[in-house]
Amino acid sequence: MKRNIVGLIYTGERVEELRELTRLRAVAAVPMLGRYRMIDFVLSNMIHSHIRNIGIITQKNYHSLMDHLGSGREWDLHGKRSGMTILPPYMNKDNVGVYEGMLDALRSNINFLRRSTERYIAISDSHVLYKLRYDKMLEKHLEMGADMTLLYSRERSVRRNGAGRYLDIADDGTVFQIECDPTIPHYPNTYLSTFLLRRELLIDLVDRAVSSGYHHFTRELLMQMLREKNYKICGYECPGNVWVVDSVQSYFDTNMDFLDQQNREMIFDTSAPVLTKLRDEMPARYAKGAHVSNSLIADGCVIEGTVENSILFRGVKVKPGAVIRNAIIMQDTAVYHDAELDNCILDKEVIVRDHSRLIGPKGYPIVVGKNLTI
Amino acid sequence: MKRNIVGLIYTGERVEELRELTRLRAVAAVPMLGRYRMIDFVLSNMIHSHIRNIGIITQKNYHSLMDHLGSGREWDLHGKRSGMTILPPYMNKDNVGVYEGMLDALRSNINFLRRSTERYIAISDSHVLYKLRYDKMLEKHLEMGADMTLLYSRERSVRRNGAGRYLDIADDGTVFQIECDPTIPHYPNTYLSTFLLRRELLIDLVDRAVSSGYHHFTRELLMQMLREKNYKICGYECPGNVWVVDSVQSYFDTNMDFLDQQNREMIFDTSAPVLTKLRDEMPARYAKGAHVSNSLIADGCVIEGTVENSILFRGVKVKPGAVIRNAIIMQDTAVYHDAELDNCILDKEVIVRDHSRLIGPKGYPIVVGKNLTI
Amino acid sequence: MIRKKTCVAMLLAGGQGSRLGVLTRHTAKPAVPFGGKYRIIDFPLSNCSNSGIDTVGVLTQWQPLELNAYIGSGSPWDLDLNSGGVYVLPPYQGGPEAEWYMGTANAIYQNLPFLEQYDPDYVLILSGDHIYKMDYADMLQHHINNEADITIAVRPVPWEEASRFGIMNTDELGNIIEFEEKPKNPKSNKASMGIYIFNYKRLRELLIADEANPNSNKDFGKDIIPTMLAAGDKMVAYNFTAYWKDVGTIESLWDANMDLLTVPPPVNLQDRSWRIYARNIGMPPHFTAASGSVENSLITEGCIIRGTVKDSVLSAGVVIEEGAVVEGSVIMPATRIGKNARVIRSIVSENAVIGEGAVVGAAEGDIAVIGTNTVLPEGATVAAGEQVGQ
Amino acid sequence: MIRKKTCVAMLLAGGQGSRLGVLTRHTAKPAVPFGGKYRIIDFPLSNCSNSGIDTVGVLTQWQPLELNAYIGSGSPWDLDLNSGGVYVLPPYQGGPEAEWYMGTANAIYQNLPFLEQYDPDYVLILSGDHIYKMDYADMLQHHINNEADITIAVRPVPWEEASRFGIMNTDELGNIIEFEEKPKNPKSNKASMGIYIFNYKRLRELLIADEANPNSNKDFGKDIIPTMLAAGDKMVAYNFTAYWKDVGTIESLWDANMDLLTVPPPVNLQDRSWRIYARNIGMPPHFTAASGSVENSLITEGCIIRGTVKDSVLSAGVVIEEGAVVEGSVIMPATRIGKNARVIRSIVSENAVIGEGAVVGAAEGDIAVIGTNTVLPEGATVAAGEQVGQ
């Protein structure tokens, strides 16, 4: 009941491997699972943890993100007293700027941290997908007497050679070590770029780090804290599956994983729905002769052709004779008569002309950018 | 009932003569009359004319304006279908840009004009204050069979030597001529930078003007239209008083004019209130020994001293012994014991220390910038 | 906070709506689900919003909880306003009368103080059981242009069916000169749609007078309109020819759902200039499994289709298990159709469970109906036209 | 659209509130103006919002229109939510009972289906006639920590007045072991504030049982609490020592307004961490004319002061004409005090007009009251303690 956590979402990740998908948008704004954007998952987690004061740190290319979030109404974050605060670089400089790293962003927005009244702060990146109750994480944090708690997962699917951060954690939950972007990770615990601590402590840490000339939270500040051992830093294992969206392939795989009912049930728990921007579409319409199998279909779709093992976003049109297999088709894209798509990702408002064929090689889905005609 | 007008407010005026008052804010965001900002007046006029789709063209320094407007809730403009659209230069360029003039802004936002569905468009600057029903102006526009209708006033107080635009209007209401920034105005009708026409016609005009290399709507496009005489351009006289806020002195005088009840009754008609952002302040508190005379006092003020012929914005504190005369004191400014102010304008959050005296010469009010201590 | 309004809409949400049987035992009629992701009230509310009528009173006294929760702050229809908005209006004490509503006219009469707040020039009276898209602003303009006291929306019905309707006989200028309830020999085929625009002052007079009349049924059709005809009021017909469907009976509710499956549908729900808004409950896209098969149907968010669906309309969160067959049916939110069950030409209400192998409805005969929260046991049979529910 | 809630608040808005006389003849008690720019209900609603309780039912059947319009979408209190929000709950047909509310417990009983929608763990019961700032989240934490079935907020009253209150006798651990309504020889000075937190499951049981008891008054204080004491429920007192004022009588409503004029006021309305929100009607700053004089008073938007105001609280849009004197009075919205009129120790309700030279109230004796919309003729006199109104 007590609202004692302020949330902060960092959307400034540079995820080059997402290529065309993030050319015009932040990772946080990448469309997911038929009707969502990446940020919806972390935002909904916060809402269901009774967090009602949420800051969102944005970088360049945040217009589609702003457009998606609007006034925050869909997340009940449109209040006067609390709600959503967009923290773009431009608030502090004359022009649109760029944060060097999370620490830079925290320093620039130190006033947001100071003005908030909640005792604790939970900070998360936006390229990681999981179901989490931050209030439960706080309970554990308090129980452990921790100064800072880091979220991690033991799941193998999120380990990457040459990338990511991995934690060495003692049996009692204390974090000993962190390795950043190791060629081959030594430790079995993938750090999920999500942590929780007292708000006042974070302000102190940021102040100190800035005077040390640091820019990066994990690679510089956190590593130093682990070396100095002045603080008790604990790990909290994320319950359930987690996904990291950091490349076209992992984007594709993550989406496809949700053709599995267990994954859907875990993330789309009806008592804690994933909230997103509404479109007031009518239900999907299946015509006579439609064939759909093992697919997620959003509202507003009109299906007259064949769809297999695919995810169709809102308002996708599939004309008679068209065949879509193993594909992710984003909002308002139209696939015309007798076209064939396999193993590909079509961004928003693409037009696939009659008889076009686009067959991606296994493991390397083809990406077609927004608004193109093929 | 029929919502057939889209509104467009241009907030890009450069009004150098407002000096410190517009250093950090657009004219549209200049605080007025104790609890308003300039844009509230034109916005409220549009609301009471049943306009529900309003675009706001912003320039640099629009953050205080954005903060003021929020999601548009206070003006009932927070809907999904219609509402308020902020049109900043950054939507079109990588960085915060600048519109050369209104025409430039219209061209950059031609998509807003195209997407709107209303048949007519009313366009207004934000540095002019008046009460107007745009729907009545449209009625007259239709009755006259006009292609474009320009709003004007015969009031002498808004005439300026060397500045402003003045119209030569025939007895039948047709506009013959316009003069821009004349040394001494020839025509008695001051153009109020507000006009109305068919939306499709405006799109055509903008298209044509751009191909002619024009930047300025009035000085270039409108003048040419008047020369060519291909369009019927009519005048519509603004009913009631009008004010132009284009210098520190006119800002001061405009505010002071509202110590007059007739002016207040005209603008603050209770059936069509001026809508503004709310602050949830408590009522003003007069202490024992307070002396207030001929002044407008906003909520949240605490008055223990003397206030005469002045306007106090929300949350102003006047300590015992302090004397305020002929002054405009903005939000959250505090005037401490035995301080004396006469003929001055204090911006927001100014602190006037015990025994300070600030006496402006008649006709040249002193302006004290935001956040200063004197 | 309240400003004068040109026109305020009053939506008569009705009483128990017994013609809808088990479907309205636990909910008000306007809250009945329709067309997969709508409720009936979405149509008049969206029409109001799209017509620029931003003040709506919803008059109800029967099971308002679900309707209340559905309407909420009014934000789905852009009706969460500082000035105006949507209000659910039940009877209350201290008003003109502290009684349950008796008749349509009495319901408005009891809420005259609500109207008074907005000092409207015109009042639009609507019903909560019609599916249609209509620009009330256009009707209002017609009313104003004709300087009418009342304007009644009428639509042409087939001559052979005219004797089943309230028929408006008009002169060549569109003035209503006679009103016949279910005439044996109809002189016109213009049927009243139950949509009225009144001049507020006149409406007020009429309601106060009618209330004082002990012989009145306090009904618009039976009392107010005949009184106006007798009094020589200016009464004008407003012709409406687009799609309109009364969904006050099981049969017509089923029909109207099936209408959405024709190509093109007679009422376009995808028209972006006249959207039908609905409160969205935030479920993921629906999933059609490898074992699923869907043809000629509307399926919405949260559904899981493992069986066969044909010629049907499914609301949010419906689950069709393997081997189940749903044909020509309307399945309302969160209902589960068990394995190998067959649901034919039926309406299954919210949150019901059809047991494995159960059979509901038949290819011939009347529509079968399963009520809200009903659990139909394994292997049970519900015949065509039968209604099962608490 | 509805999600489980930890705690739902139910605000008993009461019946006619006859103790407030003419002030509540046309409006529900919680809608009565207070403190210049508030209405009484702003206090519990703001407390809920500030405490993170985002689902509030307001139970009323008396003159709900003004209250309804005032609450609107709930946005002033950040209660215009997709999940939760504020709902006005009148009696209805088709529920547990189709009757006007009889007693506080019956009102909640009739709305069990409303509560059921949110499946709450706890229910907070509030009254609509108290002025105070209270963190209900803290009280709830107290309830949870004590594993109580019910927690009752209590405040200390002077011992000599304790026999006028419902007194809770507690053991050293804060458990309530006895409840005495207006005891002659009080054993404690802890008075119930009429604010309860119940475990929902237990509340539900109790209400259903109480409803079946023909001898019950269906009241929390008279029936439910004694039943719980007898049944051995875990009942805990929550001590509250900050400002709290029942404003259910003319005298106490006047007192509470006057309390705001003491320096510092006992209830701080400027505390930015616990704001009291109100619906704002959008008027310009108030104007004090050269002929006006104001001391020790609260004045809000839209007022015009041409006369003398002392020790008074004025609501929005009040006009005090030249020569008029207002002293020790509460003037509600849009009321006009005519030239040379004198209003002393009075409450003048909304939209009234006090004629030129009229005299209302006196420096001694009870508070005089002028009702809503009342026009007091020129030169009229209203004695101390007198009430005038329609």
Average per-residue pLDDT for chain C: 92
What per-residue confidence (pLDDT) applies to A268? 93
Residue B82: pLDDT band (50, 70, 90) is: low
D82–chain C Cβ distance below 8 A for any pair = yes
The residue in chain C having the minimum alpha-carbon distance to the alpha carbon of residue D114 is: C65
Using CB atoms, list chains with 3+ pairs below 8 Å to chain D: A, B, C
Per residue in C57-89, pLDDT (tens digit) is 999 887 888 888 899 989 999 999 888 899 998
Of chain D, the percentage scoring pLDDT greater than 90 comes to 76
What per-residue confidence (pLDDT) applies to B20? 83
Q: Which residues of C touch A261 (CB under 8 A)?
A: 287, 304
Residue A108: pLDDT band (50, 70, 90) is: confident
Q: Locate tokens 């625009």: which residue?
A: C197
C241–chain D Cβ distance below 8 A for any pair = no
More confident residue, D20 or C97: D20
Q: Which of B80, B96, B280 sits opposite A95 (nearest CB)?
A: B96
pLDDT at D262 over 50: yes
Other C-beta atoms closer than 10 Å to the C-beta of A159 total 18
Q: How far is CA D150 from the centre of its chain?
A: 22
What per-residue confidence (pLDDT) applies to D272? 85
B216–chain C Cβ distance below 8 A for any pair = no
Structure tokens at B112: 């807003």
Are the C-beta atoms of C102 and C213 separated by less than 8 Å? no
- Of D120, D47, D118, D36, the C-alpha closest to D77 is D47
Q: Which residues of D touch B280 (CB under 8 A)?
A: 275-278, 280
Best of D23, D26, D39, D65 to mutate (most C CBs within 10 Å, chain C)? D65
CA dihedral B144, B146, B148, B149 (to 10 degrees): -10
DSSP D107: H
Structure tokens at C310: 């044909």
What per-residue confidence (pLDDT) applies to C2? 54
Mean pLDDT of D305-334: 98
DSSP D9: E
Per residue in D99-117, pLDDT (tens digit) is 778 889 999 999 999 999 9
Residue D63: pLDDT band (50, 70, 90) is: confident
DSSP B361: P
Per residue in B319-370, pLDDT (tens digit) is 999 999 999 999 999 999 999 999 999 999 999 999 999 999 988 999 999 9
Best of B129, B270, B278, B286 to mutate (most D CBs within 10 Å, chain D)? B286
Cα separation values, C108 from A83, B276, D60, Å: 39, 34, 20
Best of B3, B53, B81 to mutate (most C CBs within 10 Å, chain C)? B81
The residue in chain A having the minimum alpha-carbon distance to the alpha carbon of residue D75 is: A79
Structure tokens at D358: 């009229």
Q: How far is CA C72 from the centre of its chain?
A: 18
Interface confidence, given as ipTM, is 0.88
Which residue ranges make up each domain of chain B?
A: 5-267, 285-368
Best of D300, D309, D326 to mutate (most B CBs within 10 Å, chain B)? D300
The answer for D 23-42 residues in CB contact with C (under 8 A) is 25-26
Per residue in D5-54, pLDDT (tens digit) is 999 999 998 766 678 888 888 888 899 999 999 999 999 999 999 999 99
Q: Which residues of B touch C82 (CB under 8 A)?
A: 73-74, 76, 275
Structure tokens at B140: 């007259």
D65–chain C Cβ distance below 8 A for any pair = yes
Q: Which residues of C touch A286 (CB under 8 A)?
A: 294-299, 309
Residue D2: pLDDT band (50, 70, 90) is: low
CATH of the domain spanning A285-368: 2.160.10.10
pLDDT at C208 over 60: yes
What per-residue confidence (pLDDT) applies to A93? 40
Give the DSSP per-residue string, B90-157.
GGTSSS----SSHHHHHHHTHHHHHH---SEEEEEESSEE----HHHHHHHHHHHT-SEEEEEE--GG
Q: Which residues of B touch D267 (CB under 8 A)?
A: none
Mean pLDDT of D352-361: 97
Distance CA C223, CA C206 (A): 10
Residue A94: pLDDT band (50, 70, 90) is: very low
Q: Which of C270, C281, C282 sits opposite A282 (nearest CB)?
A: C270
Cα separation values, B247 from B10, B37, B55, D355, D377, Å: 18, 16, 26, 45, 49
Residue A92: pLDDT band (50, 70, 90) is: very low
More confident residue, D62 or C154: C154
Q: Which of B2, B81, B275 sits opposite C141 (nearest CB)?
A: B2
| Dihedral (CA of B183, B186, B187, B189) sign | positive
The verdict on whether omega for the bond into residue C264 sits within 30 degrees of 0, i.e. cis, is yes
Give the minimum alpha-carbon distance from B298 to chain D in angstroms, rounded to a whole number: 4
Q: Which residues of A touch C281 (CB under 8 A)?
A: 273
Distance CA A157, CA A167 (A): 16
List residues in chain B touching A: CB distance below 8 A: 63, 70-71, 73, 78, 80, 90-91, 94-96, 278, 280
Q: Do C94 and D16 touch (CB under 8 A)?
A: yes
The answer for B 275-304 residues in CB contact with C (under 8 A) is 275
Residue B92: pLDDT band (50, 70, 90) is: very low
Q: Locate tokens 């209190």: which residue?
A: D77
Per residue in A45-90, pLDDT (tens digit) is 999 999 999 999 988 777 788 889 888 888 988 877 668 888 877 5
What per-residue confidence (pLDDT) applies to B93? 40
Distance CA A76, CA A52 (A): 8
C375–chain D Cβ distance below 8 A for any pair = no
Distance CA C334, CA C327 (A): 18
Are the C-beta atoms of C141 and C240 separated by less than 8 Å? no
Of chain B, the percentage scoring pLDDT greater than 70 comes to 97
What per-residue confidence (pLDDT) applies to C331? 98
Distance CA A343, CA B196 (A): 53
Are the C-beta atoms of A351 and A336 separated by less than 8 Å? yes
Write down the pTM of the prediction: 0.90
Distance CA B345, CA B365 (A): 7
Residue A162: pLDDT band (50, 70, 90) is: confident
Residue C348, classed as helix, strand or coil, is strand
Average per-residue pLDDT for chain A: 91
Give the minimum alpha-carbon distance from A312 to chain C in angstroms, rounded to a whole number: 9
Q: Which residues of A touch D50 (CB under 8 A)?
A: 81
CATH of the domain spanning A5-267: 3.90.550.10
What per-residue confidence (pLDDT) applies to A91? 46
Q: Which residues of B touch D288 (CB under 8 A)?
A: 292-295, 297
Q: Do A76 and D277 touch (CB under 8 A)?
A: no
Distance CA B292, CA D306 (A): 11
Cα separation values, C267 from A315, C244, C316, Å: 18, 9, 20
Average per-residue pLDDT for chain B: 91
Mean pLDDT of A323-348: 97
- Of B195, B95, B59, B80, the C-alpha closest to B140 is B195
Strands (E), C176-249: 176-181, 190-199, 235-239, 244-246
The residue in chain C having the minimum alpha-carbon distance to the alpha carbon of residue B77 is: C81
What per-residue confidence (pLDDT) applies to A155? 92
What per-residue confidence (pLDDT) applies to B91? 46
Are the C-beta atoms of C309 and C326 separated by less than 8 Å? yes
- Of B30, B56, B6, B24, the C-alpha closest to B246 is B30
